[in-house]
Chains A and B, each alone.
Chain A
Amino acid sequence: TQLLEQSPQFLSIQEGENLTVYCNSSSVFSSLQWYRQEPGEGPVLLVTVVTGGEVKKLKRLTFQFGDARKDSSLHITAAQPGDTGLYLCAGVPLGGNEKLTFGTGTRLTIIP
């Protein structure tokens, strides 16, 4: 079983639409990170959320950390083809073993 479950696994939408992807766990995290990975490249950090309930915005991307620090969401407004990629959440569980665990990933395709 995966510590961090992401949904949906695949998402294909038209340019200009809005979307939300989710990262859920039964464990509490001190912080959660979101990475984006494009084909042929390694993941690149987008944001780190630290405080329960925290909301961070990065242009058209809005990241939220759940109040209980067990889940997070990524909302994209007016999606662009450049948003296409694999979105990964990652975190180190509280009281855990300091191993950064990655979620299962959401593969997003934006159709022009």
Chain B
Amino acid sequence: DSGVTQTPKHLITATGQRVTLRCSPRSGDLSVYWYQQSLDQGLQFLIQYYNGEERAKGNILERFSAQQFPDLHSELNLSSLELGDSALYFCASSVIPTPTGELFFGEGSRLTVL
């Protein structure tokens, strides 16, 4: 158990819909990262927050947005969903703001868009 909690574990929805994925980092970790893992793309970095502020941005689509709340949990919002958004979405956390130390990953949220 990494200490990072992600909900929901599985989500099935239709194209055009909007979903919210939730992540609670390890106790004491201020950094939260979101990654997308699909079969043909590997783990793709989406976005990072540190203590409530956006720290780094990857190839996150404009249809996607995220935020980190004062209690440090984070949410990833995916809207106008397309078939190609079907993937595993991982949240990871770490103590320090730079991703050079160990990242602790949750078990992921599997999104299926039909």
The stretch from A15-23, A64-72, A91-99 touching chain B is: A91-99
**Bound form: Cα–Cα A43–B56 in Å:** 20
- CB of B108 closer than 8 Å to a CB of A: yes
Is B83 located at the chain interface by the 8 A CB criterion? no
- Taking a contact as CB atoms closer than 8 A, the residue among A40, A42, A45, A103 that contacts B4 in the complex is A42
Total count of chain B residues near the partner, CB < 8 A: 24
Assess whether A99 is in contact with B100, with CB atoms less than 8 Å apart. Answer: no
B84 at the interface (CB under 8 A from A): no
Number of interface residues of A (CB under 8 A): 23
Given contacts A42-B108, A88-B43, contact A99 B56 (CB under 8 A): yes
Q: A99-B99, A100-B99, A102-B42 are in contact. Are A42 and B107 (CB under 8 A)?
A: yes
Interface membership of B102, Cβ < 8 A: yes
Enumerate chain A interface residues (CB-CB to B < 8 A): 2, 30-31, 33, 40-45, 48, 88, 90, 92, 97-105
Q: Which residues of B approach A to under 8 Å, CB–CB?
A: 2, 4, 33, 35, 42-45, 48, 55-56, 58, 90, 92, 98-103, 105-108
| 7 cross-chain pairs, A with B, having the tightest CB-CB distances, nearest first | A42-B105, A100-B99, A102-B43, A45-B102, A104-B42, A43-B105, A99-B45
